[in-house]
């Protein structure tokens, strides 16, 4: 068995990354419920005790993986929010981007969807923090739109929460999974345009 070294911050981060990469690979292949800490340790050719030096439980490992997925989602939203485009176009690209990421990253592989569902059902703080950060980005975009005369005068924070709620069926993994095959649902374009038009009135 190889022992993990934690003599420096860099070494510790490298070990944490190795554990998370291994855990995510196993969760994707076998599923969250069927993978335990011993499996992760075996994959890394180390003892379970070494894993517990960095994570207190499988749940904590899962939280960290979900945190990484949400960080990628936030980075995409942040990059779009900084584009030199109209507020409407940035909101349009944001929702399309989140919907695409939800479908491709969280739903195409059933085991990944299982990880996300577990996180949502437990209402972990990482999910709540992510929603708050996204709302702040949306509020900034809407504030820009109000300044430019693109949107009506309104409270940007309230508008951001309402906009997010209006398009949640395109970004929430469980709802997206339920609606993908339904024919009697509004299309992504219809929902996005409806939500953007609401900001103009």
- Domains assigned to the chain: 9-56 (1.10.10.60), 73-199 (1.10.357.10)
142 neighbors 160 (Cβ within 8 angstroms)? yes
Between residues 189 and 126, which one has the greater pLDDT?
189
- R_g of the chain, CA atoms, integer Å: 20
- Tens of pLDDT, residues 137-182: 999 999 999 999 999 999 999 999 999 999 988 887 767 766 666 6
**Backbone angles phi and psi of 4, in degrees to 5:** -80, 140
Q: Max Cα separation, the chain?
A: 65
- What local confidence, expressed as pLDDT, does residue 139 receive? 98
Q: List, in order, residues 6 or more apart from 51 with CB less than 8 Å away.
A: 19, 37, 40, 41, 44, 61
- What local confidence, expressed as pLDDT, does residue 184 receive? 74
Q: Indicate the pLDDT class of residue 190, thresholds 50, 70 and 90.
A: very high
- Tens of pLDDT, residues 18-67: 999 999 888 878 878 889 999 999 999 989 999 999 999 998 998 888 88
Tokens matching residue 60: 């904590």
Q: CA–CA separation, 80 vs 196, rounded Å? A: 16
Q: Indicate the pLDDT class of residue 2, thresholds 50, 70 and 90.
A: low
Q: Which of 142, 19, 1, 22 is nearest to 81 (CA)?
A: 142
């Amino acid at each position: 068995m190889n022992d993990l070294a934690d003599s420096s911050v860099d070494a510790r981060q490298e070990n944490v990354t190795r554990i998370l990469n291994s855990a995510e690979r196993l969760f994707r292949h076998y599923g969250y419920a069927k993978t335990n800490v011993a499996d992760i340790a075996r994959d890394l050719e180390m003892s379970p005790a070494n894993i517990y030096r960095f994570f207190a439980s499988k749940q904590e490992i899962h939280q960290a993986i979900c945190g990484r997925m949400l960080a990628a989602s936030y980075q995409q939203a942040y990059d779009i929010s900084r584009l030199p485009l109209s507020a409407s176009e940035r909101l349009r690209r944001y929702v399309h981007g989140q919907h695409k990421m939800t479908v491709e990253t969280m739903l195409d592989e059933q085991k990944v969807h299982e990880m996300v569902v577990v996180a949502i059902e437990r209402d972990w703080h990482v999910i709540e923090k992510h929603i708050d950060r996204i709302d702040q980005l949306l509020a900034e975009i809407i504030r820009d739109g109000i300044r430019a005369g693109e949107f009506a005068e309104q409270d940007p924070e309230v508008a951001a929460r309402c906009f997010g709620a209006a398009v949640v069926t395109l970004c929430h993994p469980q709802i997206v999974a339920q609606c993908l095959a339904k024919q009697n649902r509004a299309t992504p374009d219809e929902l996005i345009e409806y939500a953007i038009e609401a900001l103009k009135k």
